[in-house]
Amino acid sequence: DKAWLVEHAEGLIVLSGGKSGEVGRALLKGNQQQVERCIEFYQTHFADHFYLELIRTGRADEESYLHFALDVAEQYDLPVVATNEVVFITEESFEAHEIRVAIHDGYTLEDPRRPKNYSPKQYLRSEAEMCELFADIPEALANSVEIAKRCNVTVRLGEYFLPNFPTGGMAIEDFLVMKSREGLEERLEFLFPDPEVRAKRRPEYDERLQVELDVINQMGFPGYFLIVMEFIQWSKDNDIPVGPGRGSGAGS
């Protein structure tokens, strides 16, 4: 979502994603117009915070992409950076990684149809290994250090950062109260179809709901419950089974 990316562009450094990024895919397809559109977008919104990413893990099309990318970098005066697409720690872990991926995708290792999207070289390389690998493109190595120098973060401990749930302008605490009371009303009508019985039993339910809502809102967690509400309702609307939850996430 590029609109979202632009909205939060301040302080970001963007890497192109190698041959799998939108620039890389366009380069490999020979789609020069798409390449120009992508570069114009990133140069407009990120200026010197956008880098063409160079990766060498021995996979198909990497070197073809790399040569195209270097030409584009020179043409548009774009910086390049050497990275490594790491998916396991040591080279010896490649087989275990392939087994995990095969299980996830529903293949056996011997299945000739099994996609082979990874290489044994996608381990965490040392500084010396990266320097040797990109000795022919020293500026790509230097830029990896420059990016590291530009990255700073202050970690705020003891705080929770939950996504903002859309409430149509209503305070999120009030929105949770409204939705909770709507849900309670539906359940009371189901549990106690007789209006007189329902009216008699309502106070204890109202009281308990208020206790729970007070705790949730005081803890600053209304957004969490609303997000859970949304994906549970979506699952039900799309015939996806929803099991009974223990409430351990909220309870803890």
Domain ranges of the chain: 2-86+125-150, 172-251
Whole-prediction pTM value? 0.69
| Average pLDDT score over residue span 241-247 | 77
Residue 137 near residue 82 (C-beta atoms within 8 A) = yes
Task: State residue 163's pLDDT score.
Answer: 77
What is the distance, to the nearest Å, from the Cα of residue 50 to the centroid of all Cα atoms in its chain? 19
Strand partners, 82: 54
Cα separation of 82 and 137, whole Å? 8
Q: Which of 5-9, 29-33, 54-58, 205-209 bottoms out in mean pLDDT, i.e. has the lowest?
A: 5-9
Task: State residue 199's pLDDT score.
Answer: 95
Cα separation of 105 and 49, whole Å? 36
CATH topology of domain 2-86+125-150: TIM Barrel (3.20.20)
CA distances, 86 to each of 15, 95, 119, 126 (Å): 15, 14, 10, 12
Best CA proximity match to 225, nearest among 187, 251, 186, 189 = 251
Indicate if the alpha-carbon torsion angle 99, 105, 108, 109 is positive or negative. negative
pLDDT band for 6, please (50, 70, 90 cuts).
Answer: very high
Give the rounded percent of residues in the chain with a pLDDT score beyond 70.
Answer: 97
Strand partners, 55: 83
Task: State residue 42's pLDDT score.
Answer: 95
Q: pLDDT tens digits, residue range 96-138?
A: 999 999 999 999 999 999 999 999 999 999 999 999 999 999 9
Better pLDDT: 129 or 164: 129
Strand partners, 53: 81
Q: What does the chain come to in residues? A: 252
Cα separation of 9 and 140, whole Å? 23
Better pLDDT: 67 or 242: 67
| Average pLDDT score over residue span 15-26 | 96
Helix (H) or strand (E) holding 71: helix 62-76
Best CA proximity match to 143, nearest among 67, 218, 79, 48 = 79
Task: State residue 251's pLDDT score.
Answer: 62
Cα separation of 39 and 50, whole Å? 9
- Angle (deg, nearest 10), helices 222-237 and 172-191: 50
Average pLDDT, the chain: 93
| Average pLDDT score over residue span 147-163 | 87
pLDDT band for 248, please (50, 70, 90 cuts).
Answer: low
**Beta-carbon neighbour count of residue 107 at 10 Å?**
15
DSSP state of 18: G
